[in-house]
Amino acid sequence: MILPWTDHPGEFLVFRTAARRRALVLALAVLGTTSLAACTAGSGQDGNRPGTRAVADPATRPDLRRFYGQKLDWRPCGDFRCATLTVPRDYDRPGDGKTFALPVAKAATAVPGKRLGSLVLNPGGPGESGVRLLEDGVADDIGKGVRARFDIVSFDPRGVGGSRPALTCLTDDRTEDEAHEAPLYPRTDAERADVLADARATAAACRRASGPLLPHVGTNDAARDMDVLRAALGERRLTYVGWSYGTSLGTSYAEQFPRRVRAMVLDGAVDPSLDWRQRVLNQSTGFRDAVEEYADSCADVAGEACPGTTPGEIRALVDRLLDRTRREPLPVDGSEEGLDAAGLVSALSLSMYTPEAQWEGLSEALRAADGGDGTKLAALAAGDEETPDTDADADTGPAASEGPAGDVPEDNGDAALMAVDCLDVPHPRGAQAYWDALAPADEAAGVYGTSGVTGELVCEDWPASARRPHRVHAPGVPPVLVVGTTGDPATPYQEAVSLARQFPGGMLLSFEAPGHTGYGRDACVDEKVEEYLVSLTKVRPGTRCAP
């Protein structure tokens, strides 16, 4: 079964346009990456400040009562029901009149008499639309036993998709179509100056277009919005599934509102204790290893489509194309720029999310590129590959009805990804720290590591927040289920192991497979997750699933 959040893996690598844009976003693929040095741990008891503190019941605050007391005005929208949730832009000043209006969608699937409540989903990103998640059919892919007991609900987080206001990094003098070649490993002063100038120009464009919003789109605030949503749904406690970045959102909720959690599934986990360089290293190593696994296992997954008869032949082809695209871009139909090395790395990385759906297409694209045609690889790098349940119908249904207006593109995932990642994890001021990280990243993960580091430069001069790398501090939270896929490139398995250990009573469900996330891809994983969601059945230590 192929689910929307894995068909459209823009959660970490939203490369839809220029080569330089792809290079900038490639490292942000790391969710606000981190120091090849030791991380900052904090539990409140060891002298370090946690990044998120439990919040006293905000519903009792007079200045928040109007938000917590709102009732959702559901109306039909296609096959769903839609409503708008109003939340304060700044929770420290909720009475200043500035708000976000967040679109919410619901599939009313619960059977009368059996209903347990609402199941809230987040598809990841940061920057993915929860409303579109439902539009793409996720409710139909949730198990019947869960749908019978829960209405399926999702929403567009603040600044994302149909949020009012919404983020954009486009201005009249800087468009997404600007492109020029981006070195995967800038070594000379001239190359580094060029990469730094482009990163700073991108950040400046975001400030010009969305400056007032940038300090207010972080994960801690989005988690507070989710508590307002819980109250508006009439739920005493939250039942939640978050994939990928959605695990960061869920973790923040659990830390701020530990006793408001009923059940929480965090699939494709992000470890909050890692700093920016550690996250870059973890994820870039994950993608390098995933491409190696593609070479080793291509025949088992893609069969005769494989672009080589042995793993060695496939590796040699990838290396040959990297060398070739470094020297000169491959021709691409309808493009003057062609496909450069950054585009090739993007295509390879994006094709590692769901091997069962993507490796055959990647194999055909690599074979065509070896013959001199980069068109298919360019489509993969842009996220345009055709797979079931893609965004082909994105202009219809509830997502479109709640879509951004004015100068904000309908899909503003790039802007949201940058804004949230840069705000959530502290980044160094000054470029030298990034240049210092290049050699260790190259040694650890090659081009995946160096492009990851340079992508983080856009965060060099971003609004600061109080959030810091920290270990989870959520006393009183019930057992949280963490799902980790052993070959996950985007959210490496060791982060799931770590996150499960950080939660009091945390449970780890291991999925022994390549690809990103597990729930929705395997019957064994689905069964364990759904038994937990419905009956709060605990997963025993050491439980593993394999396809």
The catalytic residue positions are 244, 488, 516
On whether the CB atoms of residues 5 and 517 are closer than 8 A, the answer is yes
Amino acid making up residue 210: S
Separation of alpha carbons 362 and 297, rounded Å: 13
Beta bridge partners of 332: 335
Q: 359 is written with which tokens?
A: 């490796």
Beta bridge partners of 245: none
Separation of alpha carbons 263 and 240, rounded Å: 6
* Phi, psi for residue 11 in degrees, rounded to 5: -55, -40
Question: Roughly what angle, to the nearest 10 degrees, separates helices 276-302 and 432-445?
Answer: 30
- The residue with tokens 């009732």 is 71
The 3-state DSSP class for residue 77 equals strand
Separation of alpha carbons 89 and 388, rounded Å: 37
Closest CA to 7 of 410, 491, 353: 353
Q: Are strands 238-243 and 150-155 parallel, antiparallel or unpaired?
A: unpaired
Neighbours of 543 (CB within 10 A): 14
Q: Is the peptide bond before 514 cis (omega within 30 degrees of 0)?
A: no
DSSP category for residue 431: T
Beta bridge partners of 243: 267
Separation of alpha carbons 384 and 117, rounded Å: 36
Closest CA to 361 of 387, 322, 389: 387
Separation of alpha carbons 539 and 321, rounded Å: 45
Q: Is 334 left (phi over 0), alpha (psi -120 to 50) or beta?
A: left
Question: Roughly what angle, to the nearest 10 degrees, separates helices 341-350 and 447-455?
Answer: 100
Separation of alpha carbons 102 and 224, rounded Å: 13
| Per-residue burial over 4-36, b = 16 or more CB atoms within 10 Å of its CB, e = otherwise | bbbbbbbbbbbbbbbbbbbbbbbbbbbbbbbbe
The 3-state DSSP class for residue 332 equals strand
Q: 525 is written with which tokens?
A: 């994983």
Separation of alpha carbons 90 and 86, rounded Å: 12
